[in-house]
Amino acid sequence: MGILEKISEIEKEIARTQKNKATEYHLGLLKAKLAKYRSQLLEPSKKSEKGEGFDVLKSGDARVALIGFPSVGKSTLLSTLTSTASECASYEFTTLTCIPGVIEYKGANIQLLDLPGIIEGAAQGKGRGRQVIAVARTADLVLMMLDATKQDVQRELLEKELESVGIRLNKRKPNIYFKIKKGGGLSFNSTCNLTRIDEKMVQMILHEYKIFNAEVLFREDCTADELIDVISANRVYMPCLYVYNKVDQISIEEVDRIARQPHSVVVR
């Protein structure tokens, strides 16, 4: 059974498992297994997987990754904000490579990357999803372009794809001290009351990663998912700005609702 099949089986088991006190340890182990397999997807298996046009040298004072589904206006925005001409057309997948542009703002040069449209399943390699996500991980900011007529569907799908490969949007790193030791077993402590995890679950998750000697200190009330993020040590935490396009096709009440959401702006 390949990695994708294993991921699918674990996701199905998590979905059909009721969340309660009796199943919390089982779910914690499943999440640890899932994170391990998803991390393996990030490892390049073939040189050809890199693809032409995705190795863009990082330059300027900051890098912004422009991502979204096909035909949401990413190329038009790049052409408007920069002097770079990115092909625009009425059909999907106009952009097939990574196209860089530069925004000059108050003396700062900001590199804006127009990436090919992401489709559902990108994290598993559909389309050019892995290459797009690999570039997004190198950015200082994700600018997520969304179709306002789709309500929040596109946003939720894209967040899920990025979350599954370790990109955490508008979140900070969990305040957990973790260090692997050569011996001495598990040293577990916390500086606060833990309501979402306990020492037994911490030990089970560590054992899933073949870690039997470690020092773990919780400085805040974190979840099993957040502990897994710390153990994996390959998560990327970055700000995201949600840009909703095509707002002229929705009601003024819906425009107002979208504009009031955190980290969101509307354009047309």
CB neighbours of 247 closer than 8 A, spacing ≥ 6? 148, 255, 258, 266, 267, 268
Instruction: Give the pLDDT score at 250.
Output: 93
Sign of CA dihedral 47, 110, 264, 228: positive
Tell me the residue type at 173: K
CB 47 within 8 A of CB 237: no
DSSP letters spanning 107-120: TEEEEEEEPPPP-T
Q: What percent of the chain is modeled with pLDDT above 90?
A: 52
Listed residue (236, 231, 194) closest to 216, CA to CA = 231
Predicted confidence (pLDDT) per residue in 183-197, tens digit: 999 999 999 999 999
Cβ 249 vs Cβ 149: under 8 Å: yes
How many CB atoms within 10 Å of residue 230?
Answer: 17
pLDDT at 123: 56
What is the Cα–Cα distance from 194 to 110, expressed in whole angstroms? 42
Residue 205, pLDDT above cutoff 60: yes
Lowest mean pLDDT across 23-27, 32-36, 132-136, 170-174: 132-136
Structure tokens at 112: 């804006």
User: With contact defined as beta carbons under 8 Å apart, do 268 and 73 qualify?
Assistant: no
Mean pLDDT of 48-72: 74
Q: Look at residue 54 in the predicted model and tell me its pLDDT.
A: 56
- pLDDT category, 51, cuts 50, 70, 90? very low
Query: Which pLDDT score, from 0 to 100, does residue 119 have?
Result: 54
Q: What distance in Å separates the CA atoms of residue 139 and residue 120, rounded to the nearest whole number?
A: 21
Point out the least confidently predicted range of 4-8, 173-177, 247-251, 262-266: 4-8
Backbone angles phi, psi at 89, to 5 degrees: -155, 170
pLDDT in the model for residue 67: 87
Question: Does residue 181 register a pLDDT over 70?
Answer: yes
| pLDDT at residue 50 in the model | 46
pLDDT in tens, 214-238: 999 999 999 999 999 999 988 999 9
Q: What percent of the chain has pLDDT over 70?
A: 84
SS3 (DSSP) at 233: coil
pLDDT band at residue 95, thresholds of 50, 70 and 90?
very low
Contact 161, 154 (CB under 8 A): no
The domains of the chain, with CATH numbers, are 3-43+174-232 (no CATH), 52-171+235-266 (3.40.50.300)
Q: Provide mean pLDDT across the span 56-70.
A: 86
Q: Given pLDDT bands bounded at 50, 70 and 90, which one contains residue 37?
A: confident
Give the separation between CA 252 and CA 177, rounded to whole angstroms: 47
